[in-house]
Amino acid sequence: MRYAHEVGKVRAAERALMARLPDGALMQRAAAGLASVCAHLLPAVYGARVVLLVGGGDNGGDALYAGARLARRGARVRAVQAGSTIHPGGLADLRAAGGRLLDSGAEAAIAGADLIIDGLTGIGGTGGLREPHARYAALASESAGLVVACDVPSGVDASTGRVEGAAVHADVTVTFGTHKPGLLIDPGAARCGVVELVDIGLGPDLPDPDVVAARPADIAPPEPRPESDKYRRGVVGILAGGDQFTGAAVLSAGGAVRGGAGMVRFASVARPVELVRQRWPEVVTTVIEPGRHDARVLERIGRVQAWVAGPGLGTGDAAEALLEAVLTTDLPVLVDADGLTVLARRRDLLRRAAPTVLTPHAGELSRLVAAAREDIEAARLDHVRRAAAELSATVLLKGSTTLVAEQDRPVRVNPTGTPRLAAAGTGDVLSGLIGALLAGGMPALDAAAAGAYLHGLAARLASAPTPGPEAPISAQDVIEALPTAFRAVSSLGGDPLEPAVFAQG
């Protein structure tokens, strides 16, 4: 796992560690790590043109000391001061190593740099960048040189990932001690490039993380054993589709079939059942007559270990009755799409002891928790935590960064998402996939996080099966790529989505 801590906890850990270290030792550790990454990124350090963008805080000091180390190896290092103050010790060290503080010509120096170190602001920075910081951030982002952010790209809120106005677009972010949530959550994550963690000794002083992001080894879907049969592997029941939305039925069933379920039981009105039988003959189907049914309808469908309800189901009285029936069981239930619309008016149905997984996008969550969609999208981390606590459920908030939250647990951030998933029906596939993992016995938080990871990885594999640019995909393509995604997480020791930082070293 990648562990991330919010700024206040990082600051407290730094203070505790600095109390045990000689003065300035912690900054030297950070500068050494930063300089090492920069040296590996350059084809050659000797003669390289390095520009430091230096603010008045500790990150400015880190950049200066790192620049001094590069200067001692022969780099031509120039510092650009932003603001009225500069770290005196770092500046003295840079000058002693042969580096210079520019009095003029900053724009030309940035444009001609081989590598730019962003030390404009630190992890405590919030709100938009002011001048001249905003201008320097823009110049760096437009430069042809490599941009390396110190701890967090300037203009990105380290605790939330919010970006208000100008921000540095880094190729690499070198962060110290622990990841920060803003490095993992969009829109901030999109500004970070590759994130490289430098250990400066904070570990013993850090509390439990606020946010975690999985690596392949952390994704452990249920595996069949020699004594397994279809029932022991898990039976998932799906209530989805209707005369108007038949595709949701086929896609959610497909996500469950390719998601490892031992058996999929599907129930709906006649037309979606017919289509599911045609596309997925291994699915056991039940036709439900139109109209309102009581909980006894579930007995006709058969025994299951988990339920998926909502995709294409409709929002009228009949759909509400089916949703009420599954939510009164003592089994895990995933609710998506139309089911979430029903829950927005029937939140009483969430008063249950068994696990409940909700998979809204920002618009659906806005109806569930009475918040504006734009507010949710601007502060996704805050709102997914609030929703998990308020709804007493595991909440998977879809979007550019998918977040999964349970009350009093670190929020899971999915690192495999891709804009190619912004296509009709991909959410239905995710519902079926997570339902299969729930039926296989995974806890709700783990099933939702693993489902999001595999779903995103399948989309990436489908859109770019060989090295090269991505291509458009459909929800069906995601289903077909799921087996490859499962194989990838079980066979790869590293992260298949993270490029090598030191490719040029």
* 314 marked among binding-site residues: no
Residue 312 assigned ligand-binding role: yes
* 361 marked as part of a ligand binding site: yes
Q: Is 310 annotated as a binding residue?
A: no
β-strands 356-358, 333-335 pairing: parallel
To the question of whether residue 122 is assigned a binding role by annotation, the answer is yes
- Give the DSSP letter string of 52-119: EEE-SSHHHHHHHHHHHHHHHTT-EEEEEE-SS---HHHHHHHHHTT-EE-SS-HHHHHHT-SEEEEE
Question: Sign (positive/negative) of CA torsion 218, 223, 225, 231?
Answer: positive
Q: Is 60 annotated as a binding residue?
A: yes
Q: Is 387 among the annotated ligand-binding positions?
A: no
Alpha-carbon Rg of the chain, whole angstroms?
26
Q: What are phi and psi of 149, to 5 degrees?
A: -85, 140
Q: Is 400 annotated as a binding residue?
A: yes
**Rounded to an integer, what distance in angstroms lies between the CA atom of residue 149 and that of residue 441?**
42
Decide if 329 contacts 307 (C-beta within 8 A): yes
Query: Is position 123 annotated in a ligand binding site?
Result: yes
> Is 428 annotated as belonging to a binding site?
yes
112 is in an annotated binding site: no
Question: How many whole angstroms separate alpha carbon 333 and alpha carbon 350?
Answer: 10
Is 61 annotated in a binding site? The answer is yes
Instruction: State yes or no: 154 annotated in a binding site.
Output: yes
Residue 99 annotated in ligand binding: no
Helices (H), 129-172: 133-142
* 248 among annotated binding-site residues: yes
First to last CA, the chain: 26
Neighbours of 128 (CB within 10 A): 13
| 87 is an annotated ligand-binding site residue | no
The letter for the amino acid at 49 is R
Using DSSP, state whether 394 is helix, strand or coil. strand
Cross-strand pairs, 181: none
Residues 194 and 174: their CA atoms lie apart, in Å, by 9
Nearest to 238 by CA among 432, 410, 11: 432
Q: Is 455 annotated as a binding residue?
A: no
Is 402 annotated in a binding site? The answer is yes
Task: Record the tokens describing residue 385, joined without a space.
Answer: 């935590």
Q: E strand or H helix at 149, and its extent?
A: strand 146-150
Confirm whether residue 177 is marked as ligand binding: no
Beta strand residue intervals within 331-427, DSSP E:
333-335, 356-358, 394-397, 403-405, 411-413
| Residue ranges at the known binding site for AMP | 398-402, 427
Residues contributing to the annotated binding site: 58-62, 118, 122-128, 151, 154, 248, 312, 361, 398-402, 427-428
Binding residues for (6S)-NADPHX: 58-62, 122-128, 151, 248, 312, 361, 428
Query: Which residues are annotated as part of the binding site for K(+)?
Result: 59, 118, 154
